[in-house]
Amino acid sequence: MTIKLPEISIIIVGYDSKRYLDSCFKSIQYQTIYDPNTIEVIYINNGSFDGSIIEIQRNYKWVSTVRNIKNLGLPAAFNLGIDYSSGDFILLMNADVILEHDYIEKALQKMKHDKHIAALTGKIYKYNFNKSRKTPFFDTVGIFAMVDREILSGKGAQDLGQFEDPCEIFSIRDVCGFYRRNALEDVRIKDEYFDENFFLYLEDVDLCWRLRLFGWKIFFLPSLLAYHFIDSAKVRNFKEYKKRERRYFMKNERLMILKNEFFLTIIKDLFIILKKRFGKKSFLFEGWIKGWFEYVKQIPSTLGKRRYIMKKKRVGRIEMGRWFLRHNDSKYNFYKSKSLEIYAKYPPIY
């Protein structure tokens, strides 16, 4: 007897996320193509003790659960979930996300239509959790990379019809990202899909950068709709997480460039990059020094990963360079003029 494995695996990572579970799981159950035989759901409690596992085992028996005794970081939790999963397609989600009813159906259709797409995202709006109300403001429409290596995610912009064209983008965000398993296996480095040195922030951009180096497409489909909760509890946590956020972002940004960038491209853009970095007020504050020491400590392992990537890459420097938008590119002024917030400006509660 042949056992039929699920076609789609949904992996949800949560930390103190019990209050979001009902909304999240119902949005999965109400999907147009939801079938427990073809869609598996795996919830990973990443080191919190909020009673979410008990809640799931009592009320959502169709969800498999994994309990991490401590917070392993978002990349390690996602890697664990991917290892446990069986689907040819993988949806990675934060626990505080709800999907539009046809999200999975549309994502699956697009992936099957174009077998070169490794990762897919759509319009993800901010959702007022406290008032149970949708907003017209984006949380993300994917990642856009500037020539100064600033990363913009569409966060904060109002939907005025400016993102209606399906197109390739530099990266998606794992607040809600649809992946092809074959592509993830193609770029896997030892036992890691996501780089576990990152712990939090930019692990999704780093992975998509590597996927592009290996010749895969990253795609934005505007008909895919999802919602990411705005919760007053997150605001209360802002000061507590701010220094840690700066530290991780500083470290991970440099690790990502060290791993994936061509040295000739860095030399070409060095003045622009340094001008941007030294112009930031936060350059020497809010965790920068601690982040720098952590960065130096992780350089040897990162260089090992770089050697693997550069040996296996299928895309050259010129092709990759076109994804970093320059001042003479019409898209550069468009994205800069929309006052889009820098990715990871606010710490998530995943």
For residue range 24-72, list pLDDT tens digits in order: 999 999 999 999 999 999 999 999 898 999 999 999 999 999 999 999 9
| 201 Rama sector, left if φ>0, alpha if ψ -120 to 50, beta otherwise | left
Instruction: Report the candidate in 142, 140, 205, 138 with the shortest Cα–Cα distance to residue 168.
Output: 142
Mean pLDDT of the chain, nearest integer? 87
> Is the model more confident about 208 or about 289?
208
Distance in angstroms (rounded) separating the CA atoms of residues 88 and 51: 31
Residue boundaries of the structural domains of the chain: 238-324
The per-residue pLDDT for range 318-345, each reduced to its tens digit, is: 999 889 888 777 666 666 655 555 554 4
**Which tokens belong to 4?**
């039929």
Contact (CB, 8 A) for 349 and 245:
no
Q: What is the pLDDT of residue 346?
A: 40
Distance in angstroms (rounded) separating the CA atoms of residues 151 and 344: 9
* DSSP code at position 114: -
Q: What is the pLDDT of residue 329?
A: 72
Q: What is the pLDDT of residue 292?
A: 83
pTM: 0.91
Residue 3 predicted with pLDDT over 90: no
Distance in angstroms (rounded) separating the CA atoms of residues 103 and 27: 10
DSSP E strands, the chain? 8-14, 39-46, 63-68, 89-94, 97-99, 117-128, 133-140, 144-146, 151-152, 167-168, 176-180, 217-230, 324-325
Let me know if 159 is exposed, middle or buried by CB neighbors in 10 A (0-12, 13-18, 19+).
middle
**Which tokens belong to 117?**
């797409």
Share of the chain above pLDDT 70, in %: 86
The per-residue pLDDT for range 81-132, each reduced to its tens digit, is: 999 999 999 999 999 999 999 999 999 999 999 999 999 999 999 998 888 8
